[in-house]
Amino acid sequence: MSNVVQLPRWIDVGVLPLLNLLLALVVSALLVLAIGENPVEVVEILLYGAFGYDEAWGYTLYYTTNFVFTGLSFAVAFHCGLFNIGAEGQAYVGGLGVTLAALYLDFLPFPLMLVVGMMAAAIFGAAWAYIPAYLQARRGSHIVITTIMFNFIASSLMVYLLVNVLRPQGSMTPESEQIAEHLRLPFIHDMAAAFGIDMASSPLNLSFVYAIAASILVWMFIWHTRWGYAIRTVGANAVAATYGGIDPGRYIIIAMMISGALASFMALNEVMGVQHRLLIDFTAGYGFVGIAVALMGRNHPFGIFLAALLFGMLYQGGAELSFEIPTISNDMVVVIQGLVILFTGAMEHMFRPRVTKIYTAWRLRRDRMEAA
């Protein structure tokens, strides 16, 4: 048999990300020691700030919701061999779609507005992703370059619209009018109160349920439909896909439009769920962190959800940490988050050769023992 064997799935999606995460935490602990603080105490405060009380859970899952949407967005494109850097801009434009629908169709009842808002976000986000997709599929432009450019274009466009078009009369703040109260997504604590369950107030809202539903639908689409099979085939080998009768250009466009639609659903959480208006930079870097979330989760919806929960914990627990330990400023928390992104995203294959070597040696030894 071959001297090298393929790693089983449980090692690829479980052990390797865990090793990367542990290394990031070790380096972070060394940084904490360097400034004279106790790493164990820091971890305790971080975990308590993220999961220690009801309100903390609410904020952690609120951040998790955004990361799930942007992580799924990147994963769908990645399965087609595309590195979509544009989730930030696609979510931004998707927020414009949600806002316009809520402001100009405010006579609609909430259940109908919910569907219209989701459709508006998806259409705007998918349309914004279509242009880079078309340029990649039909003109050969690199998707990384075009999506980065479209992030900047989206940012400039939104600044112009919020300052000159959508800003309420007499207001000096670059933001849109608030959407009608009956069109806002209900908070989870309000929904729980209707069933007699007491929960602390937090920004967690109904969009968290949509994030779970989106994860299930993406899993079904990518692994249990012929379109998902075609997308994965194009991502694995576009030439082989062509010989198999699959048009790579078509599925590049399809994958990118789905990716843009998923990114835009983040606007449901921010615009309809929490802020209730369109703000400048409401995306707050979630699109870029979603890349690390998807890579850490091995582009599988279940892994993405767990990775999103980890980053939600870092965001919420980090806020508690900077409050409880003044020497660990918000900048230090950002450094810790950056280390996690570095080791789990950019350096995700660091341990693969060594782990593959160990696993291969174990398999060979086991096979010899069985043969004997």
- Which DSSP state fits 2? -
Q: Which of 1-10, 34-43, 116-125, 318-327 has the lowest average pLDDT?
A: 1-10
- H helix runs in the chain, sequence order: 9-10, 16-34, 39-51, 54-79, 87-104, 110-139, 143-164, 188-194, 207-224, 226-236, 238-243, 248-264, 266-267, 286-296, 301-324, 330-341, 352-371
Taking the CA atoms of the chain, what radius of gyration do you get in angstroms?
A: 22
Residue pointed to by tokens 């007699």: 196
Report the distance separating Cα 342 and Cα 349, nearest Å: 11
165-187 as b/e: b if 16+ CB within 10 A: ebbeeeeeebbbbebbeebbbeb
Alpha-carbon distances of 61 from 111, 144, 229, rounded to whole Å = 24, 30, 31
332-371 tens-digit pLDDT: 888 888 888 888 777 778 888 888 889 888 888 888 888 8
315-336 tens-digit pLDDT: 999 888 888 888 888 888 888 8
| The residue type at 299 | N
What are the extents of the domains in the chain?
73-307
When the pLDDT of each residue in the chain is averaged and rounded to a whole number, the result is 91
pLDDT tier at 153 (50, 70, 90 boundaries)?
A: very high
pLDDT tier at 1 (50, 70, 90 boundaries)?
A: very low
**What pLDDT was estimated at residue 255?**
97
Q: Which two tokens stand for residue 121?
A: 């976000």
**What pLDDT was estimated at residue 5?**
63
Report the distance separating Cα 340 and Cα 21, nearest Å: 6
